[in-house]
Chain A
Amino acid sequence: MKNSFVMIIVVLFATIITFLLVITILSADELTIPYSCYPKVIQTKFAEHNLKLDLNGDERTKDSWGFIKNEGAQYKIFTYKSITREELNLVTKIVGETAREELQDGENDSR
């Protein structure tokens, strides 16, 4: 009797955890930005808008919003939750302004 009770608890726990894990994995959206970047600069810019961007998915904390992956001429942002249209518009603004600033800095440096 005791054994079967433990077994029920274990099976229920395993089922719930498995589904929660699957759901968490499934919820990540992927955003590809065709600009080169300095990840720490992007992280700072996102922080100004209260979006905590990790430099690695393993750094995730409770208040993290997503993480960045640098791929040379482009970079990707993976969100931990499904992104909203408002967040997409905000990301466009942040990545655009940051890239523009870096572009202008580059032009100034070359003068």
Chain B
Amino acid sequence: MRKLFLVILVALFMAGAVCSSVFAATPGSRTSPGRGEIAQMPYPSDPPKRFRLVRYIGLQDLDGIAATSIVIWDKTVDDGVTITTTTVSGDSSVAGILATTILTQDTVDNSAVQDIGLDNWAWLQTYGYALVDVSSANSIIAGAAMGTGTTAGLATIYMPSTDADWSTRTVSQGFAGFFFDDAAKSATDVEAFVRTE
């Protein structure tokens, strides 16, 4: 019986050792999107992430949208592949967080098909560990729900709208995930878990 207990103890110790290197509070591999290594072994420790190739139209004189921005689905184009920014807090059409910078459209009024292969496409992260920039509205509390803020591209704490006017309330129910850590107002590269699909 004592031997069995010893065996279980050793097994738990080994499991703990592996876990501590994989799921450490702030492992070096927490660079999103990225990969990390466990000690000398060639195994990445990042959790799974989902990305979607999306398009941006934007105005011709703008620079595009930077990586780590929170974005929404474009409700003017209505094609399900075009994203844009919003100034609606907790926007219900939240799409995810940009993993790479996206540029504006080269030719005005091009459809998504006409834009294929051009530089106004980038990766939207819809699931998993991500880095996001936050607005100056609130400081962030670890574990708080995440949503869009009133500044384009910047995330903030999401609170479901309780507006008595249903038409206003219904467009502000966009839950996008949660924050891993506390963060100051206007912080950049805040650790979050995006969950929009």
**How big is chain B's contact interface, by range?**
35 or more
B67-88 residues with Cβ-Cβ distance < 8 A to A are: 67, 81
Known: A81-B35, A82-B46. A30 touches B51 (CB 8 A): yes
In whole Å, how far is A40's beta carbon from the nearest beta carbon of chain B?
19
Known: A88-B123, A92-B122. A31 touches B53 (CB 8 A): yes
Contact A32 B50 (CB under 8 A): yes
In whole Å, how far is A28's beta carbon from the nearest beta carbon of chain B?
6
Interface residue tally for chain A (C-beta within 8 Å): 37
Residues of chain B within 8 A of A103, CB atoms compared: 113, 116-117
Contact B45 A11 (CB under 8 A): no
Residues of chain A within 8 A of B47, CB atoms compared: 26
Is there a chain B Cβ closer than 8 Å to A33's Cβ? yes
Q: Which residue from chain B places its CB closest to the CB of A32 in the assembled complex?
A: B52
In whole Å, how far is A97's beta carbon from the nearest beta carbon of chain B?
6
Give a binary string over A19-57; 1 marks a CB under 8 Å from any B CB, 0 the rest: 110011011111111110000000000000000000000
**A binding-site residues for B, Cβ under 8 Å:** 4, 7-8, 11-12, 15-16, 19-20, 23-24, 26-35, 81-85, 88-89, 92, 95-101, 103
